[in-house]
């Protein structure tokens, strides 16, 4: 028996990293998991790792037409959702003075607009007992030089989770924030590589636990929020950052 037997879950941005780890864990626990990503080759490879319970739907969360197509597919196949993980996100190293309009639009469109409309369009498929998770970042909780726009979108996501938890409480839908710190992912590696060597803004390589995190550690917390162990948890923020923002 799995913790998510007979449940249907959506994980956006699941082609790699944290999203893929969450999708794999959910499927291993018995859920049917819809994975989204913008690049078909990477998405297909991700579904192959997830196994028979994984369903790939190529889509861009910042494109409302893509979102409509995604949810039509979920309606046709499952008719409902029990878990939504709004994970899709991007970030660029751009200190004030170097931020471009293109970078600003891309980051806000995927991280913020994409999160808002993913959850809004999922609402008709969610019943009492459903769980919604929004992925934030520890960058939103501390000064993160060079990551101002990214951190601002992730702080906004935390605010949205509080508001939506209050708005959806009478429907029995829980909304929580999952906030990773420094985690070993392809996207994280790319972002860390963008910091100038020796720059004071470069992220510290170690947390109080003496290492950075693994995607599967974030996925374990996502499983808690998705399943029946967290039925009295809503509006909360769960930090998976090795103590970096707390110690």
Q: In angstroms, rounded to a whole number, what is the distance separating the alpha carbons of residues 209 and 47?
A: 32
Token pair for 185: 């992912």
Q: In angstroms, rounded to a whole number, what is the distance separating the alpha carbons of residues 200 and 25?
A: 37
Q: Which of 34, 93, 104, 150 is catalytic?
A: 150
Token pair for 135: 């992925």
| Contact (CB, 8 A) for 80 and 127 | yes
Which residues have C-beta within 8 Å of that of residue 151, sequence separation ≥ 6? 137, 139, 140, 144
Active site residue 34: no
Inter-helix orientation angle 17-28/40-50, to 10°: 30
Q: What angle do CA 69, 117, 179 make, to 5 degrees?
A: 120
Reference 239, options 228, 224, 229; nearest CA is 224
- Tell me the catalytic residues: 150
């Amino acid at each position: 028996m799995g913790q998510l037997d007979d449940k249907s879950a959506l994980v956006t941005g699941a082609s790699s990293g944290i999203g893929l780890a969450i999708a794999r864990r959910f499927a291993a626990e018995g859920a049917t998991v819809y994975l989204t990503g913008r690049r078909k080759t990477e998405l297909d490879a991700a579904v192959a790792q997830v196994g028979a319970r994984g369903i790939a739907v190529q889509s861009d969360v910042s494109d409302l037409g893509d979102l409509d197509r995604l949810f039509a597919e979920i309606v046709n196949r499952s008719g409902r959702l029990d878990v939504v993980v709004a994970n899709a996100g991007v970030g660029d190293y751009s200190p004030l003075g170097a931020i471009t309009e293109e970078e600003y639009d891309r980051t806000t469109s995927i991280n913020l607009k994409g999160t808002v409309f993913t959850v809004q369009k999922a609402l008709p498929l969610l019943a009492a007992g459903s769980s919604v998770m929004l992925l934030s970042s520890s960058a939103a909780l501390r000064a993160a030089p060079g990551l101002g726009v990214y951190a601002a979108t992730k702080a906004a996501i935390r605010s949205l989770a509080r508001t939506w938890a209050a708005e959806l409480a009478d429907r029995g839908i829980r909304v929580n924030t999952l906030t990773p710190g420094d985690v070993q992912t392809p996207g994280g590696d790319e972002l860390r590589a963008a910091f100038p060597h020796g720059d004071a803004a470069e992220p510290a390589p170690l947390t109080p636990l003496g290492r950075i995190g693994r995607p599967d550690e974030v996925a374990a917390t996502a499983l808690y929020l998705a399943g029946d162990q967290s039925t009295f948890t809503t509006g909360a923020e769960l930090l998976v950052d090795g103590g970096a923002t707390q110690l």
